[in-house]
Amino acid sequence: MSRPHILIVGGTGVFGSRLARLLARRQAFRVSLGGRTESRATALQRELRLIDEQAEFGFVMIDRDRISADRLKEIDCDLVVDCSGPFQLSGTQLIEAAIGARCHYVDIADSRAFVAGVTKFDSAARAVAISVISGASSTPGLTHAVLDNITSAWLAVDSIDIAIVPGNRTPKGRSVVEGILSWVGQRVRVFREAGWEQGRGWSNGRWVTIEGLSRRRAMLADVPDLDLVPSRFAPRVRAGFDAGMELPVLNWLIGIAGTPVRWGLVRSARTFAGLGTRIALWLRWCGAPGCGRRVGG
């Protein structure tokens, strides 16, 4: 019996490689690593073959911004998973190609605009009997799973406050840094005091305490939950989502990167993505590996 074929776009990146290892441990899938540089996949392929000696772990040269339905048909995958990021800068060519190839699609998007825009593909996906799932990640996927569980028997919700505070040793690449910096200092629409108002990305810091972790600072983050939580759970007062780093120096530097955005000197703090990635690498051995999430009201 042939194994289901899963194509991971961005398969050699931080999140794509994690997914590939997880699938290899299941010993039930054929996995292809999609990307633009084959040499980056070699070491990961060797590692995956040690985990599952019976599986195929091929490499597929692919650019998600130029992919076509015909190309996905050639690859002949049952499911394509987009782990490439940053989704704040992404188009929807891969979704369109998946629908054209009648191939199921999942991504780990954390971009508010990207996730909101995926609903327009619902009718087309249903017409060819495939699933198109966006945001299958810590935000908004995990957030909503937790909220569905804890509010299932509630009559009403007043406030929802969410915070994510990863440990500094949590792996992060340039796409993660770019994704964060894309909204730092920018205007952010948020539901507060029973109405919609404007905030600024990486502002209004608060302390977050999670059992087993050091106390950490979290600031307003522009993520899909800011739209989806009010829509799905209808809180009467507010729905907030904050994020922060373990190391205070990184929180401070990210805040500094947003200053020229607020002053109108640069359009986006992504200008500092290269420097930010290097700083994250320099400090990667500091702190802890643990990541914390707090969901409450």
> Which one-letter DSSP state was computed for residue 100?
H
What percent of the chain clears pLDDT 70, i.e. is strictly above it? 98
Token readout for 246 is 């373990």
Confidence of residue 97 (pLDDT cuts 50, 70, 90): very high
pLDDT, residue 296, reads 67
pLDDT, residue 174, reads 87
Mean pLDDT of 19-26: 96
pLDDT at 21 over 90: yes
Confidence of residue 297 (pLDDT cuts 50, 70, 90): low
pLDDT, residue 265, reads 96
Mean pLDDT of 242-256: 96
Q: How far is CA 115 from CA 118, 140, 221, in A?
A: 5, 9, 15
User: Which has the higher per-residue pLDDT, 286 or 292?
Assistant: 286
Q: How many CB atoms lie within 10 A of CB 113?
A: 14
Q: Are 246 and 172 in contact (CB under 8 A)?
A: no
Domains, the chain, with CATH or none: 5-133 (3.40.50.720), 138-296 (3.30.360.10)
Q: Are 108 and 85 in contact (CB under 8 A)?
A: yes
pLDDT, residue 279, reads 95
pLDDT in tens, 23-75: 999 999 999 999 988 999 999 999 999 999 988 899 999 998 899 999 999 99
pLDDT at 278 over 80: yes
CA-to-CA distance for 148 and 131, rounded, in angstroms? 21
pLDDT, residue 90, reads 86
pLDDT, residue 290, reads 67
The mean of the pLDDT values for the chain is 93
pLDDT at 192 over 70: yes
Q: Are 162 and 293 in contact (CB under 8 A)?
A: yes
Mean pLDDT of 259-268: 96
